[in-house]
Structure 1
């Protein structure tokens, strides 16, 4: 992958900026160092700032109305984006074709992740020359950078699926482009990055040399960052269908499921489920804001109509009540073909954090791995834990091998609602995309993947 960066390109466009929720990062004025300066004469402060920059690079585009959460949410029928100024949010996301030439739509989630992967490779090369960092501190940077690379590759393959993606991208500018590898090879590469990173982190001492955002509170040292790395590794193993690997990684992650189900512990249960790592935003400081609060984004009405209730006419799944609200007046688009009276309240302000991964997902990943292994008893225990603590629903006593997957997908739908495209990814992995609503046109199935950008294709001709 040739990113066509010039010699004056910064290692990270955001290296010298603050990171939302961090307070003072004390990274100083880097005087806009060129790429050559960083490669040939890296400093400890430059390495530390570039490490922080990888967080900013991975966060870019997550919460825009045409970003990862919103677009995957639209395709997965979690959301609508009714923006009169940009009808592509309907015409492309719900229509027959995603335009590979549109960088913010069909061609999205390619250049950004690969730019951040390239920045990480430049950072890793700089570690071989930098003075002022101990061997342990260098190991911490390596473990962190490779974990972030894995997350960026995951964005690419999550959106490209069977089309695959380039892996061997650490090549000089002007070199032959890396071949596009198949989906399995990309996932193997991601798993290898995470495992290698975990080894680096084990040798990284007591602290990182760089600052992390407040989204990593509780995970900001090499020892506490490793369970985050293992959590992502568990997600990847489940996506690969390697369920034993997933259970091993989960045992090394921060998973916990031990809060009682009584009403008095409801707050404690939700707090436990929300433990995790987050993207953070700080709009008032001039840092990026969480744009998912925009008034053009609405919740898909099926979230409410499909929700389970406690008995006939009883209270609805508590996740619906916590995460959405009924509008006083319904809104519509596409000449009335699309209508909803439901809005999200998951992100109440421009400062609201967005999960990268949290405990509730880990419990559901463990249930999914056990279902894949035919171990329905442990899976039912985890599914009922989520039903009772997060949904405030009664436990089910009739979960069997025949209905466990459907129960899992329902719990993942409501627990991970509008957090990162989980509904679309899960339904695709199990061949159930056709079960998603087709409100715009019944003849148009949901998109299976984003196309490879036309610029990438042209560069290979």
Structure 2
């Protein structure tokens, strides 16, 4: 959670981001980093630029930036897909071994960066709501974008930690001692935010994949309903996204993670870092450069590699090998280091392939085996695999295994999908039979000890 000092620091940083985003629109005579909220929300141009500041912050924020502190990396370690190259990195080894201490700094960065993002969106929403100069159409659009980002952030908090404080205001007195909120209430707020986003957002920005639109909110809400076993709702929303011709599965796997890929429903641009480099953090962290291999931190689990069919195009396109380290590594992003303009790769957050597998699972749970197989085959065909036959009368459990297998091979090292899938489907028990460290209480990360010192109302998850 946020202390009073951190709240002030966060607001300064947030407003500094807004200042950078707004520099083309306003002249600021005030001292550095001092910008009054009313100034930000006194015009539509500066308000839009403030929202751009939030998008940019997603590329810098630990939980969402694709670095060693992100959901992508830590979730892949927890999900048994990544392994540390050097076991001397005790902070990351705790995630790999499921022995995370409450003092783990990566866990602290993940938690605090997520709550900083929530505070930023709350501050933006309050400023937007109090504005008397922004038209209702623009206000509704920007409100939908900010509520989407808040819902997106809470989705990961509730799935990684379970019960977490539900903070919907910037009021320090109210927030400093906030207790944890039941997961169902967190999900209720996520759904409310996403439904509000769907109502207020337009279909615009379909060709600019770094901006949230109505279908972006639909895509995330379909996932939320899947996690909550609301199969019909998940199917309906995923079908709406799939039917939108603006989103197309890329035939060439090497094109999937390019900037403004047609498969992308939402991406985060590295331009948001404000640096001269234009590569993604995922590419920079995962790729083992042949010359600078000594800088490598993680590799793919060999058991995961061995489970691929030799004909699977994802094996040849999204995985590479470093001979000097005898290590396989994720190669979805092809650029390790670059300052070329414009950026040719963006960090993928939501993409169309997930919607097909969401719909496949939802259809299967409603006994629509044919529909489920059709969606599974869409993913298998793109991967170069033989289609499943509708005439084989495959049992539900066999098809569910196939869906989980396709999710694992499709979304490895993307936003912790495998770790969250294992948890939500209760498939984790057999994964760590030989792991002496595993206990069922490891399903949730610990509440950071530092946060509990600052807020005595924060209880700890069992097992920590």
More helix, by proportion: 2
Contact 1:65 1:81 (8 Å CA) reproduced: no
Q: Provide, for residues 383-428 of structure 1, a one-character-per-residue CA deviation record: whole Å limited to 9, x for no partner.
A: 1111111x21101223331311100000001111211110111011
Query: Bigger CA drift: 240-249 or 351-360?
Result: 351-360
Q: CA deviation at 1:289?
A: 5.0
Measure the CA separation in 2 of the matches of 1:66 and 1:384: 35
Question: How many equivalent pairs are there?
Answer: 419
**Residue 188 of structure 2 corresponds to which residue in structure 1?**
188
Q: Provide, for residues 335-371 of structure 1, a one-character-per-residue CA deviation record: whole Å limited to 9, x for no partner.
A: xxxxxx3122112224632211000111111111112
**Residue 330 of structure 2 corresponds to which residue in structure 1?**
344
Contact 1:72 1:424 (8 Å CA) reproduced: yes
With over 3 angstroms needed to count, the CA separation of the structure-2 counterparts of 1:268 and 1:157, relative to structure 1, is closer
**Residue 292 of structure 2 corresponds to which residue in structure 1?**
none
Superposed counterparts of 1:28-39, under 5 Å: 32-34=32-34, 37-38=36-37
With over 3 angstroms needed to count, the CA separation of the structure-2 counterparts of 1:258 and 1:147, relative to structure 1, is closer
Measure the CA separation in 2 of the matches of 1:430 and 1:11: 38
Asked if residue 393 in structure 1 is aligned to residue 381 in structure 2, the reply is no
Contact 1:2 1:174 (8 Å CA) reproduced: no
1:281 aligns with one of 264, 267, 270: 270
Contact 1:109 1:155 (8 Å CA) reproduced: no
Query: Bigger CA drift: 281-290 or 321-330?
Result: 281-290
Q: CA deviation at 1:380?
A: 0.8
Query: Bigger CA drift: 92-101 or 284-293?
Result: 284-293
Measure the CA separation in 1 of the matches of 2:103 and 2:138: 42
Measure the CA separation in 2 of the matches of 1:64 and 1:173: 30
**Residue 58 of structure 2 corresponds to which residue in structure 1?**
58
With over 3 angstroms needed to count, the CA separation of the structure-2 counterparts of 1:365 and 1:273, relative to structure 1, is farther
Contact 1:156 1:165 (8 Å CA) reproduced: yes
Q: Structure 2: which 5+ runs fail to align?
A: 286-295, 338-342, 458-464
Measure the CA separation in 2 of the matches of 1:174 and 1:260: 47
Q: CA deviation at 1:249?
A: 1.7
Asked if residue 95 in structure 1 is aligned to residue 91 in structure 2, the reply is no
Q: CA deviation at 1:154?
A: 1.1
Measure the CA separation in 2 of the matches of 1:371 and 1:180: 35
**Residue 414 of structure 2 corresponds to which residue in structure 1?**
419
Asked if residue 79 in structure 1 is aligned to residue 82 in structure 2, the reply is yes
Secondary structure of 1:347's partner?
coil
Measure the CA separation in 1 of the matches of 2:329 and 2:78: 17
Secondary structure of 1:165's partner?
coil
**Residue 291 of structure 1 corresponds to which residue in structure 2?**
281
Contact 1:39 1:122 (8 Å CA) reproduced: no
Measure the CA separation in 2 of the matches of 1:33 and 1:330: 46
Secondary structure of 1:180's partner?
coil
Superposed counterparts of 1:237-276, under 5 Å: 237-254=225-242, 266-267=251-252, 274-276=263-265
Contact 1:64 1:290 (8 Å CA) reproduced: no
TM-score, normalised to structure 1's length? 0.81
Q: Provide, for residues 213-235 of structure 1, a one-character-per-residue CA deviation record: whole Å limited to 9, x for no partner.
A: xxx7345788xx10111011101
Secondary structure of 2:308's partner?
coil
Query: Bigger CA drift: 143-152 or 446-455?
Result: 446-455
Secondary structure of 1:141's partner?
helix
Query: Bigger CA drift: 269-278 or 239-248?
Result: 269-278
CA RMSD of aligned residues (A): 3.3
Secondary structure of 2:201's partner?
helix
Q: Structure 1: which 5+ runs fail to align?
A: 19-23, 309-314, 332-340
Q: CA deviation at 1:129?
A: 3.6
Contact 2:75 2:416 (8 Å CA) reproduced: yes
Superposed counterparts of 1:377-456, under 5 Å: 377-389=370-382, 391-397=383-389, 398=392, 399-436=394-431, 441-444=435-438, 447-456=442-451
2:323 aligns with one of 328, 345, 355: 328
Contact 2:363 2:369 (8 Å CA) reproduced: yes
Asked if residue 9 in structure 1 is aligned to residue 12 in structure 2, the reply is yes
**Residue 48 of structure 1 corresponds to which residue in structure 2?**
48
Q: CA deviation at 1:445?
A: 5.1
Asked if residue 133 in structure 1 is aligned to residue 134 in structure 2, the reply is yes
Q: Provide, for residues 45-66 of structure 1, a one-character-per-residue CA deviation record: whole Å limited to 9, x for no partner.
A: 4422321122123332231123
Q: Provide, for residues 125-164 of structure 1, a one-character-per-residue CA deviation record: whole Å limited to 9, x for no partner.
A: 2123435422211111111111111111112112113xx1
Query: Bigger CA drift: 319-328 or 441-450?
Result: 441-450
